[in-house]
């Protein structure tokens, strides 16, 4: 955690913390996923969400206001790629010695992270990442994610005050209210209008985060 605090971009440290503290959260999530019709179909078809997301030529053919178009805009503007989290997660995947189905589920959860950024409108700034971690903790309880989130709230709160835990709490509550995202058919949702996807999955606008982020940007420009 000390190394992660010193370098928030050190995603390998994120996976180390999650691996150390996650307990049986992956198995709990997998059992829930594999009990759904969509989960069973994804496992049967051996789908790779990563393969879909890194095919930018295909994504660019989807409608202008689709989830795919917004995702492409997000990863392009942030200069990131679908493969960005693959290498940092490899050691954790190897240490777990997962079977093929559980590995597919674990990789799918990893690969949908930037889709969640796109859908929720939580940015990749420190506050946005902490809020998305709070949202993720509500969706898929994991002590490692919760620990990183709480430390992030404390660190950012020292600079920005009580508005930080309030924004994170709102993100957590919105995550509780939303549909369970790990079991969604993302390959199909990519072609649909992003507003319709948000409505279908009950994704709420991140008002507290956006208000605080706006204040931060104003102070930086002052």
Give the pTM: 0.89
Inform me whether the pLDDT recorded for 222 exceeds 70: no
Task: Say what percent of the chain tops pLDDT 70.
Answer: 90
CA angle, 9 then 133 then 45, to 5°:
95
Inform me whether the pLDDT recorded for 1 exceeds 90: no
pLDDT of residue 17: 75
Q: Quickly list H helices, 9-85.
A: 11-21, 25-34, 37-45, 49-53, 56-60, 67-77
Query: How is residue 181 annotated by DSSP?
Result: G
Q: Dump pLDDT digits (tens) for 10-22.
A: 666 776 777 777 7
pLDDT of residue 116: 97
pLDDT of residue 220: 67
CA–CA distances in Å: residue 215 to residues 5, 156, 221: 23, 14, 10
Structure-model confidence comparison of residues 94 and 15, the more confident one: 15
32-46, 89-103, 169-183: range with lowest mean pLDDT = 89-103
Inform me whether the pLDDT recorded for 98 exceeds 70: yes
Inform me whether the pLDDT recorded for 133 exceeds 70: yes
Inform me whether the pLDDT recorded for 155 exceeds 90: no
Q: Where are the domains of the chain?
A: 2-221
pLDDT of residue 90: 67
Q: How many Cα atoms occupy the beta-carbon half-sphere of 99 within 13 Å?
A: 4
The closest alpha carbon to 19, from 115, 104, 90, belongs to 90
């Amino acid at each position: 955690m000390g190394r992660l605090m010193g370098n928030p971009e050190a995603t390998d440290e994120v996976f180390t913390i999650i691996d150390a503290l996650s307990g049986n959260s992956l198995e709990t999530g997998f059992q829930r996923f594999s009990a759904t019709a969509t989960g069973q179909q994804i496992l049967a078809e051996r789908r790779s969400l990563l393969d879909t997301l890194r095919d930018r030529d295909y994504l660019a053919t989807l409608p202008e206001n689709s989830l795919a178009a917004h995702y492409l805009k997000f990863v392009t503007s942030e200069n990131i790629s679908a493969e960005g989290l693959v290498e940092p997660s490899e050691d954790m995947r190897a240490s777990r010695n997962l079977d093929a189905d559980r590995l597919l589920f674990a990789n799918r959860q990893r690969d949908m992270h930037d889709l969640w950024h796109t859908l929720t409108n939580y940015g990749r700034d420190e506050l946005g990442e902490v809020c998305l971690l709070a949202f993720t903790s509500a969706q898929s309880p994991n002590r490692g994610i919760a620990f990183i989130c709480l430390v992030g709230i404390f660190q950012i709160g020292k600079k920005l005050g009580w508005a930080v835990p309030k924004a994170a709490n709102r993100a957590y509550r919105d995550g509780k209210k939303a549909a369970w995202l790990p079991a969604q058919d993302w390959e199909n949702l990519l072609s649909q209008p992003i507003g319709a996807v948000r409505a279908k999955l009950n994704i709420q606008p991140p008002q507290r985060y956006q208000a605080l982020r706006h204040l931060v940007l104003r102070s930086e420009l002052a």
